[in-house]
A and B are shown apart, each in its own frame.
Chain A
Amino acid sequence: MREVVVISGKGGTGKTSLSAAFSYLEGSNAIVSDCDVDAANMHLLLDANFKNQSDFFSGEIAIIDEDTCTNCGDCFEACHFDAITQTDDFHVVDPISCEGCYYCFRVCEHDSIVMQTQKAGDVFISDIKNSTQMVHAKLGFAAENSGKLVAKVKSEAKMLALKADKEFVITDGSPGIGCPVISSLSGAALVVLVTEATVSGLHDLKRVQELVKTFNIEAVCIINKYDLNLQMTQNIEEFLESENIKVVAKLPYDDTFTKALAEAKPIVEYSQSSSLSHLVKDSWEDIKTIIRNQK
């Protein structure tokens, strides 16, 4: 089992549309995981049925018992997150600011504070198009710990893939360079960097590649909307060459991606014989060849 992670640094470059297309093409030979848990939406393209749900617990918050609180203020003094405020008779915790560090709990001499585990989200294992399965999640509203939820989604997907002897796990990663992306990358065999031919596309690509390098994972790149700005495409290609990253596809600016999305279909299902679909298919074949030749 080998994992392919699709990431982009910048949002809106087509990462999810491409991940869904790869998943559709590979069918039952791959398990899919959506690690963009902050704003998960890949399930829309793959007809996920949200079949198997489980709660995801992570992190705790402090709760102050107003009956036994003596209003001494020790917890207020201890908290460095401004999460505790004083009322006339007792102290209260703002659940959104609380980090769950236990400091207030440890200093309270009246045992008035309890730490309560928080439900941080839901994890789903769904049947999807082309007779395979995907693992995805929904982060609780205003909940934290998305990095841990990403790790959970990934481990579930790998477990499924190992059990059913699948060749690939295809992971739709998260945007940015922080905690969720770092979680998305761990253990991957290949990273597909999706960028677009814009000044911000190149900027974000450079930053995310710096991060990928520290993981020592082989990377390839897909340049989306390459014809929007040919000079920028050339700049991106020069950067990729200097980093020894192969370009597996250059895709034109094309509203078909959006039209396919409005029909809730991956591009390779929506317009099977279009030149865009062929480019995407070829890139996936390239990616598979690269992974199979690794070792």
Chain B
Amino acid sequence: MKITFASGKGGTGKTTVSTNLTSYLASMGENVVLADLDVEEPNSALFVQGELIKSEISNKMIPKWEEVNCTLCGKCAEVCNFNAIVAMPKEILVFSELCHSCYACSELCPTSSLPMTPSRIGKIQEFKADNFTLVEGRLDLGQEMAVPLIAQTISYVDENFTDCIKILDAPPGTSCPVIEASRGSDFVILITESTPFGLNDLTLAVETMKVLKQSFGVIINRYGIGDNGVEEYCKNENIPIVTKIQNDKEVAKLYSNGKFIYPEIAHFKDSLDEIVTFIGALK
């Protein structure tokens, strides 16, 4: 069972819900792993505070020019559609940050002068908490492309963890990174707020899920503030509302300190129970 928590708008509570839900499921004896896929700004480790047990470098493959046999024919620059290669009169320049790792330059080079080599983009870390595991992808600063690292983090989880519940904490937005974090999951839960911003960004995320033909539901966070636009929208679109989490400054205070919410706040725990029941029914 693999469940992705996503949202169009940032700051709606993805990390809060996914870290708390993971800990809560683990406390009930479930075998569960949490993957932080918000590789640009990964935060789950701040709340989980586990022990770092494994760290591996994450690479993307880029071409590396080898001068020896190169005839400077320029084929590589010609076939690169991302302007990542420039053929100069006496050398070939590779701009790694523009490279999409399509291998065309490398494999179409008549003299095999551009072998693909690993280039660091970030790291994948595994943390052991009391009763569950957190896997985090973390993009290096200055790296532009989050998608390869998200894909690698998911593969890491799939390869190392079988027979358990996998909770994926996706990055915000509606484009490539969210798509990578959502496709392949059994179910996506979109977390939103009951405000016009929340509704606007929810509708964008819903359209993305529809394009992906992905089954999904909604959690309304900070319920009771703002308006009822989100609720009406979900009703009209026949989207299941998994739970509504009440607006509560005490939740925000616990969050600000990096504390788990459910041991302290009963209504938040009730909401987690609703999520657990919902997930249970999916199995």
- Residues of A whose CB lies within 8 Å of any CB of B are 8-13, 16, 38-39, 41, 44, 60, 78, 80-81, 96, 99-103, 106-107, 139, 141-144, 146-147, 175-179, 181-182, 196-201, 203-204, 207-208, 210-211, 214, 225, 228-229, 232, 253, 255, 258-259, 261-262, 264
Q: Which of B8, B43, B102, B249 contacts A103 (CB 8 A)?
A: B102
Within the assembled complex, what's the spacing in Å between the Cα atoms of A172 and B255?
A: 26
Q: Which residues of chain B are near A142, meaning CB under 8 Å?
A: 174-175, 179, 207-208, 211-212
- Closest chain B residue, CB of each to CB of A144: B176
Within the assembled complex, what's the spacing in Å between the Cα atoms of A9 and B40?
A: 8
Within the assembled complex, what's the spacing in Å between the Cα atoms of A264 and B258?
A: 32
- Closest chain A residue, CB of each to CB of B207: A141
B142 within 8 A of partner (CB): yes
Q: Is B196 in contact with A261, judged by CB distance below 8 angstroms?
A: yes
Q: Is B174 in contact with A207, judged by CB distance below 8 angstroms?
A: no
Decide yes or no: A203 and B252 within 8 Å by CB, A100-B81, A177-B139 being known contacts: no
Q: Which residues of chain A are near B101, meaning CB under 8 Å?
A: 80
Q: Is B139 in contact with A38, judged by CB distance below 8 angstroms?
A: no
B161 within 8 A of partner (CB): no
Would you give 16 A-B contacts (Cβ < 8 Å), ordered by A?
A44-B197, A101-B82, A106-B79, A142-B208, A175-B173, A198-B258, A199-B46, A200-B255, A204-B43, A207-B41, A210-B141, A225-B252, A229-B256, A232-B257, A253-B249, A258-B195
Decide yes or no: A200 and B197 within 8 Å by CB, A99-B100, A100-B81 being known contacts: no
Q: Is B256 in contact with A262, judged by CB distance below 8 angstroms?
A: no
Give A286 Cβ to nearest chain B Cβ, in Å: 25
Most buried by B among A39, A177, A211, A258: A39
Q: Is B226 in contact with A12, judged by CB distance below 8 angstroms?
A: no
Q: Is A175 in contact with B10, judged by CB distance below 8 angstroms?
A: yes
Q: Which residues of chain B are near A144, meaning CB under 8 Å?
A: 175-176
Within the assembled complex, what's the spacing in Å between the Cα atoms of A225 and B179?
A: 31
Q: Which of B11, B46, B196, B201 contacts A13 (CB 8 A)?
A: B11
- Name the segment of B86-94, B103-111, B267-275 touching the other chain: B103-111
Give A21 Cβ to nearest chain B Cβ, in Å: 14
Q: Is A101 in contact with B81, judged by CB distance below 8 angstroms?
A: yes
Q: Is A96 in contact with B253, judged by CB distance below 8 angstroms?
A: no
Q: Is A11 in contact with B107, judged by CB distance below 8 angstroms?
A: no
Within the assembled complex, what's the spacing in Å between the Cα atoms of A178 and B150?
A: 13
Within the assembled complex, what's the spacing in Å between the Cα atoms of A60 and B81?
A: 10
Q: Which of A8, A80, A199, A253 contacts B103 (CB 8 A)?
A: A80
- Closest chain A residue, CB of each to CB of B12: A12
Q: Which residues of chain B are near A78, meaning CB under 8 Å?
A: 103-104, 107
Within the assembled complex, what's the spacing in Å between the Cα atoms of A198 and B252?
A: 9
Q: Which residues of chain B are near A196, meaning CB under 8 Å?
A: 256
Q: Which of A41, A60, A106 contacts B9 (CB 8 A)?
A: A41
- Closest chain A residue, CB of each to CB of B178: A38
Within the assembled complex, what's the spacing in Å between the Cα atoms of A229 and B205?
A: 32
Give the size category of B's interface with A: 35 or more
B225 within 8 A of partner (CB): yes
- Closest chain A residue, CB of each to CB of B211: A142
Within the assembled complex, what's the spacing in Å between the Cα atoms of A63 and B174?
A: 24
Q: Which residues of chain B are near A9, meaning CB under 8 Å?
A: 41
Q: Is A102 in contact with B81, judged by CB distance below 8 angstroms?
A: yes
- Closest chain A residue, CB of each to CB of B101: A80
Q: Which residues of chain B are near A100, meaning CB under 8 Å?
A: 81
Q: Mark B248-270, 1 if CB is under 8 A from A, else 0.
A: 01001101111000000000000
**From residue 197 to 215 of chain B, which have CB atoms closer than 8 A to chain A?**
197, 200-201, 204-205, 207-208, 210-212
- Closest chain A residue, CB of each to CB of B102: A101
Q: Is A177 in contact with B226, judged by CB distance below 8 angstroms?
A: no
- Closest chain A residue, CB of each to CB of B226: A262
Q: Mark B6-39, 1 if CB is under 8 A from A, else 0.
A: 0011111001000000000000000000000000
B63 within 8 A of partner (CB): no
Q: Which residues of chain B are near A179, meaning CB under 8 Å?
A: 144-146
Give B149 Cβ to nearest chain A Cβ, in Å: 10
- Closest chain A residue, CB of each to CB of B41: A204
B227 within 8 A of partner (CB): yes
Within the assembled complex, what's the spacing in Å between the Cα atoms of A80 and B103?
A: 7
Decide yes or no: A176 and B197 within 8 Å by CB, A101-B102, A200-B43, A232-B256 being known contacts: no
B137 within 8 A of partner (CB): no
B162 within 8 A of partner (CB): no
- Closest chain B residue, CB of each to CB of A139: B175
Q: Mark B33-57, 1 if CB is under 8 A from A, else 0.
A: 0000000110100110000000000
Decide yes or no: A264 and B196 within 8 Å by CB, A142-B211, A179-B145 being known contacts: yes
Q: Mark B207-238, 1 if CB is under 8 A from A, else 0.
A: 11011100000000010011100000000000
